[in-house]
Amino acid sequence: MKMLLELFSRLRQKVKGLEAPRFKIEDDIELRLLEERHAEELFTLMNLNRQYLREWLPWLDNNRSIEDTEEFLRDSLEQFRINNGFQCGIWFQGELAGVIGYHKIDWVNRATSIGYWLGARFQGMGLMTKVCRVLIDYAFNELRLNRVEIRCAVENKKSRAIPERLGFKKEGVIRQAEWLYDRFVDHMVYGMLRSEREDLNKQI
């Protein structure tokens, strides 16, 4: 974990002319800050999984070309530059498997939320639980935030399993929180406070 904190500290200092180093969570799992040079690889992953991801992600129809992906990556780097969170690619055995990041950071209230997705064939290996744990600990230990939130569609059982496995508390349902192509879906809100994470760490 200390190495990870040092990594992101270096990344925040190197945002101009970014050439991000890699960090190995395990021998075959890496998190890397997403950059424009990853556009083709990211678009290919999204395109191969378009129908699978479209079940629960509302933005797929707005990303139909490498140019759209490049725009997303430029926006993500700007988010990082202004210290409002970041988006990381998840590499498994040298292959891009998905994305995880902070939606934004509320510095006044010391809070953030985490979003994530994986390609279909990378499901069921515990990847997202491992990388999500890293971003939770980084939010509390390095960014000194007080609250981390994850929202999932109520019927998205795979996504909901992540915060439940990591010890988040169910805080309630937001009715018709998101328009998903042809219908509204309710969101389950999961929250974790810094004090709760500290208690969980003591139990490990």
Q: List the CATH number of the domain containing 68.
A: 3.40.630.30
Asked whether residue 155 is domain-assigned, the answer is no
Asked whether residue 44 is domain-assigned, the answer is yes
- What value, to the nearest 5°, has the Cα angle with vertex 153 and ends 195 and 8? 45
Question: How far is the C-alpha of 123 from the C-alpha of 105, rounded, in Å?
Answer: 28
pLDDT band (50, 70, 90) for residue 200: confident
- What's the domain range around 124? 2-145
Judge whether residue 9 has pLDDT over 80: no
Asked whether residue 168 is domain-assigned, the answer is no
Kindly report, residue by residue over 92-119, the tens digit of the pLDDT. Answer: 999 999 999 999 999 999 999 999 999 9
Asked whether residue 140 is domain-assigned, the answer is yes
Question: How far is the C-alpha of 10 from the C-alpha of 136, rounded, in Å?
Answer: 19
Asked whether residue 161 is domain-assigned, the answer is no
Judge whether residue 182 has pLDDT over 50: yes
Question: How far is the C-alpha of 49 from the C-alpha of 36, rounded, in Å?
Answer: 20
Asked whether residue 165 is domain-assigned, the answer is no
Q: How many domains does the chain have?
A: 1
Judge whether residue 13 has pLDDT over 80: no
The reported pTM is 0.87
Neighbouring C-beta atoms of residue 148, cutoff 10 Å: 28
Phi, psi of 27 (to 5 degrees): -55, -35
